[in-house]
Structure 1
Amino acid sequence: MIRGKVHPEATVGATRLAAFTDGVFAIAATLLVLDLTTHTFGAVQSNAELWGALAAMVPQFFNFALSFLLLCLLWMTHVEQFEWIVRVDGVVIWLNNIRLLFIVVVPFATGLTTEYSTYTAGRVLMPITFFLAILTSWLQWSWAVRRRADLMPDLSEADARAYGRGALSAVIISLLVVIISPWIGSAAFLLFVFDGLLTRLLRGR
Structure 2
Amino acid sequence: MEKETVRIENFSDAVFAIAITLLVLDLHVPDTNIIKNGTDLLVYLKGEWTSYLAFTLSFFSIFIMWVNHHKIFKQIYSRNTAIMFANGLILFLVSAVSFPTALLARFFDGEASNIAVALYTGIFVLINISYNLLWFIASKNKKLLRPGITNSAILKIRNNYLYGLPTYIIAFGISFQFPAIALAICMILLVFWAFSSGKINVIQE
**TM-score, scaled to structure 2:** 0.83
Q: Which residue pairs with 2:75 in the alignment?
A: 84
1:13 equivalent in structure 2: 4
Paired position in structure 2 for 1:134: 128
Cα 1:47–1:31 shift into 2, 3 Å: same
Paired with 1:15 and 1:141, the residues of 2 have a C-alpha distance of: 17
Question: CA distance change for structure 1 residues 41 and 47 in 2, over 3 Å: closer, same or farther?
Answer: same
Distance 2:116 2:190 in 1: 23
Amino acid at match of 1:155: I
1:41 to 1:58, Cα distance in 2 relative to 1, 3 A: farther
Which of 142, 153, 161 is 1:159 aligned to? 153
Residues in 1 aligned to 2:19 and 2:166: alpha-carbon distance in whole angstroms:
24
Query: Is the 8 Å Cα contact of residues 142 and 164 (structure 1) preserved in structure 2?
Result: yes
Structure 2 match to 1:187: 184
Corresponding residue to 2:105 among 98, 114, 118: 114
Of 37, 53, 58, which aligns to 2:44? Answer: 53
- Structure 1 gaps, min length 5: 1-11, 200-205
Is the CA contact (8 Å cut-off) linking 1:29 and 1:71 kept in structure 2?
A: yes
Consecutive unaligned residues of structure 2, counting only runs of 5 or more, are 197-205
SS in 1 for 2:175: helix
Report the CA distance between 1:173 and its aligned residue.
2.0
Alpha-carbon separation, structure 1, partners of 2:29 and 2:125: 31
Q: Deviations over 1:124-163 (max 9, x none)?
A: 1111111111210111011111112233333111111111
Task: Tell me, yes or no, if the aligned pair for 1:173 and 1:195 is still in contact at 8 Å.
Answer: no
> What is the match of residue 4 of structure 1?
none
- TM-superposed CA distance for 1:83, in Å, is 0.8
TM-score (norm: length of structure 1): 0.83
Aligned-pair identity in percent equals 23
Between Structure 1 and Structure 2, how many residues are aligned? 187
Report the counterpart of residue 59 of structure 2 in structure 1.
68
| Cα distance in 1 for residues equivalent to 2:33 and 2:158 | 50
1:37 match = 28
Query: How far 1:42 moved relative to its partner?
Result: 5.6
Work out which structure has the larger RCO, using CA pairs closer than 8 Å and 6 or more positions apart in sequence.
Answer: 2
8 Å contact kept, 1:145–1:160: yes
Pick closer, same or farther for the CA change 1:193–1:150 going to 2, 3 Å. Answer: closer
CA RMSD of aligned residues (A): 2.1
CA distance in 1, matches of 2:175, 2:68: 24
Contact 1:31 1:107 in 2 (8 A): yes
> How far apart, CA to CA, are the structure 2 residues paired with 1:52 and 1:35?
18
What amino acid is aligned across from residue 169 of structure 1 in structure 2?
Y
